[in-house]
């Protein structure tokens, strides 16, 4: 029997799919390292247990799969009926038995992977609408999932860190976040500098005379930018070489 492969031959898209699949495998490994009783423990997200994180990641796969189905069939299938429905879904999933919760993650990830694999090459350019109302080509679903699995693997608080995330994923995530800040103009007076990158990576508003510069390695800066802590980074301005690290602006 001939093995089935991705329908697309686009090398950029195939590389993106590889990062998403690696992120899924990494999340699965960190989840499988947890005993059932550990699922009741706190995650790194305020108010969420590890159960909530697993539930969210599982149902997120199903939601993204609906967008891929939309691209394949032309039949509009939104990610969620409403924000309330999404929140209810996550809360419900968090009450599942450990076995059912683990199955939710496994089965939904397989389903999404099959939808990606079987999507015709030309359908990757078909437009779909995200839960935030953005109209994007179906290929964007790959990045949407990549970001979810890598970041939430860290949120499981089971030894994973942003240093485990591939550099290419960190770079794109930081550019997305700082781009959102710029579009909302919430980066006023804030400069972000990555200190361990081969090419210069600096973002933000350096025009303000009292701009605060937040600096650090890529993994630490991205962690801070996602609102997950200030360890490993520093801040300074023209008046103070040891200023307090400010809270990162909201990005979601």
Asked whether residue 17 carries a pLDDT value surpassing 50, the answer given is yes
Average pLDDT, the chain: 92
Residues 170-196 have a mean pLDDT of 91
What are the distances in angstroms from CA 167 to CA 10, 44, 163?
Answer: 21, 22, 9
* Gyration radius from the chain CA atoms: 19
**Ranges of each domain in the chain:** 11-160, 167-236
Q: Which residues of 188-200 are buried (b: 16+ CB within 10 A; e: fewer)?
A: eebbbbbeebeee
Going by C-alpha positions, the residue among 204, 143, 189, 191 that lies closest to residue 170 is 143
Q: Is CATH 3.30.1050.20 the classification given to domain 167-236?
A: yes
Instruction: Answer with the residue of higher pLDDT: 98 or 189.
Output: 98
Per-residue pLDDT tens over the stretch 143-165: 999 999 999 999 999 999 999 99
Looking at residue 216, its pLDDT comes to: 93
How confident is residue 2, by pLDDT bands cut at 50, 70 and 90?
very low
Superfamily of domain 11-160: dinb family like domain (1.20.120.450)
Going by C-alpha positions, the residue among 180, 241, 186 that lies closest to residue 213 is 241
Cβ atoms within 10 Å of 139's Cβ, excluding its own: 20
Residues 170-187 have a mean pLDDT of 92
Structure tokens at 252: 């979601």
């Amino acid at each position: 029997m001939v093995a089935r492969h991705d329908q697309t031959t686009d090398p950029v898209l195939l590389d993106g799919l590889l990062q998403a699949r690696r992120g899924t495998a990494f999340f699965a490994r960190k989840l499988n390292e947890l005993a059932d009783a550990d699922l009741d423990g706190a995650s790194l997200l305020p108010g969420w247990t590890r159960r909530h994180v697993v539930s969210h990641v599982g149902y997120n796969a199903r939601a993204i799969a609906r967008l891929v189905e939309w691209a394949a069939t032309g039949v509009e299938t939104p990610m969620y009926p409403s924000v309330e429905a999404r929140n209810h879904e996550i809360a419900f999933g968090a009450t599942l038995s450990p076995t059912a919760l683990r199955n939710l993650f496994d089965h939904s990830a397989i389903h999404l992977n099959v939808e990606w694999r079987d999507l015709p090459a030309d359908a990757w350019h078909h437009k779909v609408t995200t839960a935030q109302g953005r109209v994007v080509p179906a290929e964007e679903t790959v990045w949407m999932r990549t970001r979810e699995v890598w970041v939430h693997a860290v949120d499981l608080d089971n030894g994973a860190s942003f240093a485990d995330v591939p550099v290419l994923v960190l770079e794109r995530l930081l550019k997305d976040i700082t781009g959102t800040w710029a579009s909302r103009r919430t980066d006023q007076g804030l400069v972000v500098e990555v200190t361990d990158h081969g090419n210069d990576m600096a973002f933000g508003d350096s025009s303000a005379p009292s701009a605060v510069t937040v600096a650090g390695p890529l993994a630490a800066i991205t962690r801070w930018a996602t609102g997950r802590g200030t360890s490993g980074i520093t801040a300074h301005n023209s008046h103070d070489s040891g200023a307090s690290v400010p809270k990162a602006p909201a990005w979601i």
